[in-house]
Amino acid sequence: MTLSGCGTALVTPFRGDGSLDEETLSELVEWQIASGIHFLVACGTTAETPTLNHQEWLRVIGIVTETAGGRVPVLAGCTHNATHEAVARAGEAASVPGVSGLLTANPFYNKPGQEGQYRHFRAIAEAVPCPVILYNIPSRTGVNLEPATILRLAEDVPNIQGVKESSGNLQQIAELIHLLPQSFTVLAGDDVMALPVIALGGAGLVSVASNEIPSEMARLVAAALDGDWATARALNRRYFRLMTANFWESSPGPVKCMMAMMGRLQENYRLPMVPVTAATREKLAIVAEELGLKGTALRPSITNTIKAALAAEGMVQSE
């Protein structure tokens, strides 16, 4: 599996009664692919995966792969802090037709050291035939996966082929890219880190903002990978506030709020996630208005709205 470009860490839409909104999820996948996104992540952190039961977790992965129909790669998230359970889930996820690879994060709460993480990830990868992408996110799991450990895993387990790096530590990411062979995929795990990680040699981004603006984030990443830094910087400048706004409260609260304003889904969560505060909602509404996003899913003229916004930034010619 060759993985590069911009991938979306998909949200999971719910109905008002708390059940999975399967139709909306399928619609989101179609919209993402039509917008030019390069790959998709089902059941990552942004998907509120810890609140899904086992059957729902498999169902979400199935809906995403079925809808994608092989048009873009699909990574299935399978993280657990008990290694035996993570191994079992990895086997199930890998067996879902259309899954291109697995994304698995550090064991959370246990706080294992480097040797514990090495054995954990090795056990998962050795149990499946598909590519495995590691996910280093210390802010959520309480532990950091160090570059030397990732190198050891890459050398010892051939199907460990990449890492989504969400440490926010640019020096660590630079060391990682320096240590690992160019064939090893390093993806930025934070929207605001996409440009520096790609500049260092990273292969792309797993994005939250692309839930709201898939076309623009795909274009931003593609431009950076092509060395068109003027376009990449202009897009980053225009959408930087949205990238940060998505984390004004715990994710995916703000992004789901924004997508509801856009008309893309019903704003429903599962505890312990709750709607954003009134103050945050008010600020998000301002961002939505500034970027022309409010109600865009309900407006057939959205393409012209986006083109006009890009023309104002000097990134496309106005018609």
Considering the segment(s) 5-228 as one domain, its CATH architecture is: Alpha-Beta Barrel (3.20)
Q: Which of 109, 111, 135, 294 is catalytic?
A: 135
pLDDT, tens digit only, all 319 positions of the chain = 789 999 999 999 999 999 999 999 999 999 999 999 999 999 999 999 999 999 999 999 999 999 999 999 999 999 999 999 999 999 999 999 999 999 999 999 999 999 999 999 999 999 999 999 999 999 999 999 999 999 999 999 999 999 999 999 999 999 999 999 999 999 999 999 999 999 999 999 999 999 999 999 999 999 999 999 999 999 999 999 999 999 999 999 999 999 999 999 999 999 999 999 999 999 999 999 999 999 887 654 444 444 555 566 665 544 4
Residue 164 bears catalytic tag: yes
Question: Residue 229: is it exposed, middle or buried by C-beta count within 10 angstroms (0-12/13-18/19+)?
Answer: middle
Residue 135 falls in the annotated catalytic set? yes
For the entire predicted model, the pTM comes to 0.91
Report how far Cα 302 is from the mean position of its chain's Cα atoms: 24
**Which is the catalytic residue, given 118, 164, 239, 294?**
164
Exposure of 40 in the CB half-sphere (CA atoms within 13 A): 35
CB 49 within 8 A of CB 57: yes
Q: How far apart are the first and last CA of the chain?
A: 39
Q: How many residues does the chain have?
A: 319
